Structure 1
């Protein structure tokens, strides 16, 4: 995993909503256990400060790092994806969000940015400038943030006609083999994993790899996916391993992490 991803998992697990900052020394120690060098950790801390993901809090000769509003929002979104949304959409209400857009050739960069944001938000292309996503997705917010509201039209609560083959539509609009491969890779790594020697590093890596597996999953309705879709088994493995690692990791973290409260 990238050092920044592990760093965010560390803060998201042990600092988010606790008003806590972590010392540079303890961050270096934890990431070192996960295979990240001291140099890489220090460079990552500096970059994350520059990107408004962390803020410095010097105390005497020590340097502490805390979350910013931006990183707090990112971590809350990641927490919701992991623990609330999940990887299996078995409560789909049958509706779709549709977005139609038309951009001139001179706006190629804007088109690329829009497509990237749509893919991240669960949309898939049906044809031309028509994209769909299951359920209610804030598409209008996406195009507004990109300054493209005048070039797009959004439709909510759309339903497919009974003659539409939704399985075929989903297979055309989404790269199902690539999505499945993410879960299969996660299963291959963690399905038979035993209690590691360093539960803190293992827990952070586990959460980071699971978030990487689900972050681009559009959460397609399970009734229209292949019967052997691996998301369900992968999610069970994640939750079982995370539960097993949680208390041992917390014990290590309590002993290792040097924290500073917001009132400190």
Structure 2
């Protein structure tokens, strides 16, 4: 099974494709990060059952995440437990910052852009692809001809690390001056229609009275909502709100997320605590 599809979610309307791995990262970020524990595989099966994800899909996801260095495997007798790795901790901390610390709405922009230009041999196709993927992840949009912009000061060093681009990348911090059409520049560099459509779909599903959507319990709702929101903000460059349409749906979406977090979070954590069986992990030895 590749996607959860219980009747309650289908009744809530169309949803972006949320892969089991995305849901797994939400579970890990909320209930494992910072605790130095490994969780019993059966607990993941129980949690995901609330979302309509079957046992086979959960076990396949765990196996894939181990092979990608996103989970560590720990055997205790006949039972298998799974804990975080340094790589997954880094990903989860980044997600936590994007959702709860920074949010999707940039209201404190100082007017400066990070401008990056690169030029490399045509034969470096793989490097070019990797650089573009990293830039997009970091909130950059392409102006064409190897020039990219981001609406904030961005530390480029970790983005280009390991790509061997010394001498092939130039980076500036700058403001846009007349006669630059800043609104047009943003429309050209970013797919605003796709971003707005994602937030409107989120609002169609979650900005309604009553249990939202109708579902088995608050844990299922909380995991589904936060996974969906994280998918949105991971592709959102946090463009300055003053440069966006006046009815930009991320503004309302952020309000709905915070309101529903208050409604669901405590009861979701209580249900998770009842479901999750874990073992403590010993910290790494300092001796050598």
Given candidates 210, 226, 234, the residue that maps to 1:194 is 210
Counterpart of 1:159 in structure 2 is: 175
Distance in structure 2 (CA, Å) of the matches to 1:149 and 1:263: 40
Contact 1:140-1:154 at 8 Å conserved across structures: no
- Using the TM superposition, name which of 107-116 and 48-57 deviates more: 107-116
Distance in structure 2 (CA, Å) of the matches to 1:60 and 1:111: 47
Residues 199 and 30 of structure 1, relative CA distance in 2, 3 Å threshold: same
Counterpart of 1:106 in structure 2 is: 123
Deviation at 1:182? 1.1
Distance in structure 2 (CA, Å) of the matches to 1:134 and 1:204: 30
**Structure 2: stretches of 5+ with no match in the other structure:** 1-17, 284-288
Contact 1:89-1:222 at 8 Å conserved across structures: yes
CA deviation vs aligned residue, 1:118-162 (integer Å, no higher than 9, x gap): 111111112311111011112233223322232111112x11114
1:209 aligns with 2:228: yes
**Structure 1: stretches of 5+ with no match in the other structure:** none
Contact 1:140-1:149 at 8 Å conserved across structures: no
Give the structure with the larger helix fraction: 1
1:88-107 maps to which residues of 2 (within 5 A)?
88-107=105-124
SS in 2 for 1:106: coil
Counterpart of 2:74 in structure 1 is: 57
Distance in structure 2 (CA, Å) of the matches to 1:7 and 1:53: 10
With normalisation by structure 2, the TM-score equals 0.88
1:1-264 maps to which residues of 2 (within 5 A)?
1-156=18-173, 158-192=174-208, 194-195=210-211, 196-263=215-282
SS in 1 for 2:237: coil
Deviation at 1:242? 1.8
Distance in structure 2 (CA, Å) of the matches to 1:88 and 1:79: 15
With normalisation by structure 1, the TM-score equals 0.95
Distance in structure 2 (CA, Å) of the matches to 1:116 and 1:99: 14
* Cα RMSD, aligned residues only: 1.5
